[in-house]
Amino acid sequence: MKKPTKPTSNPELRGPLDHDVRTQIVEAAEEYFSHYGYEKTTVSDLAKAIGFSKAYIYKFFGSKQAIGEVICSGRLGKIMKAVGVATSTAPSASERLRRMFRALVEAGSDLFFHERKLHDLAAAAAGAQWPSVRTYEGQVRQLIEQIIAEGRKSGEFERKTPLDETVNAILLVMHPYVNPLLLQHNLDFAAEATVQLSSLILRSLAP
């Protein structure tokens, strides 16, 4: 039988409580970064802004990047969710590919550049290939693979080219719009570009 303890030191409770503090730090950091930039902010700045000690923050996150990673991972997760919603009702593999590309760019622009600005967090994450970015790129690849396999099965797409080659090349075409580091240079014409590039990709997939 467990020894009764005060709630705050109860091991059963520590998890959830810690979880709350983590969330609190991440949310405050997200707010702070989007105002003052990620690169220029130090953990001391964050600590002051949140009203915690620097040491307390380090209890939860090993570095500023660890906080940035959670934010980045959250945003990238939202992008994939938006892509899921946009593609789920597509009537064909071709249409799914179009919608996927459009949603990737729209959600990516909104979440990193328009709605809440996190330009330099995006640049840092993409430039140094943070784990969250690698995971995201893996998910994008997987989705393309699924769509191509689906289209090959239904007869919409050609089957001569090795699947890997097809998927790689499509990923390369999308890369400048999917990678946040590059997307920021392409924002002005990204919407128009995804339409034209989707058509080109679909022409390349014609049986």
**Residues whose CB falls within 8 Å of the CB of residue 6, separated by 6 or more in sequence, listed in order:** none
Whichever of 143 and 190 has its CB closer to a second copy, that residue is: 190
Give the closest residue to 38 by CA, choosing from 132, 120, 117, 125.
120
Whichever of 41 and 166 has its CB closer to a second copy, that residue is: 166
Q: Which amino acid is at 190?
A: A
Site for a second copy in 22-41 (CB under 8 A): none
Under DSSP, the state recorded for 3 is: P
Whichever of 82 and 193 has its CB closer to a second copy, that residue is: 193
Query: Measured between alpha carbons, how far is 165 from 66 in angstroms, rounded to an integer?
Result: 35
Tell the smallest beta-carbon distance from residue 170 to a second copy (Å).
Answer: 7
Whichever of 28 and 93 has its CB closer to a second copy, that residue is: 93
Q: If binding is defined by CB under 8 A, does position 122 make contact with a second copy?
A: no
Q: If binding is defined by CB under 8 A, does position 147 make contact with a second copy?
A: no
Tell the smallest beta-carbon distance from residue 7 to a second copy (Å).
Answer: 51
**Residues whose CB falls within 8 Å of the CB of residue 147, separated by 6 or more in sequence, listed in order:** 87, 93, 96, 97, 100
Tell the smallest beta-carbon distance from residue 149 to a second copy (Å).
Answer: 17
Query: Measured between alpha carbons, how far is 97 from 69 in angstroms, rounded to an integer?
Result: 28
Tokens at 54, concatenated: 């620097």
CB 34 within 8 A of CB 61: no
Whichever of 139 and 204 has its CB closer to a second copy, that residue is: 204
Element containing residue 90 per DSSP (H, E): none
Q: If binding is defined by CB under 8 A, does position 1 make contact with a second copy?
A: no
Under DSSP, the state recorded for 112 is: I
Site for a second copy in 157-186 (CB under 8 A): 158, 161, 165-166, 168-170, 172-173, 175-176, 181-182, 185-186
Q: If binding is defined by CB under 8 A, does position 129 make contact with a second copy?
A: no
Give the closest residue to 174 by CA, choosing from 108, 81, 82.
108
Whichever of 12 and 164 has its CB closer to a second copy, that residue is: 164
Residues of this chain that bind a second copy (CB under 8 A): 158, 161, 165-166, 168-170, 172-173, 175-176, 181-182, 185-186, 193, 196-197, 199-201, 203-206
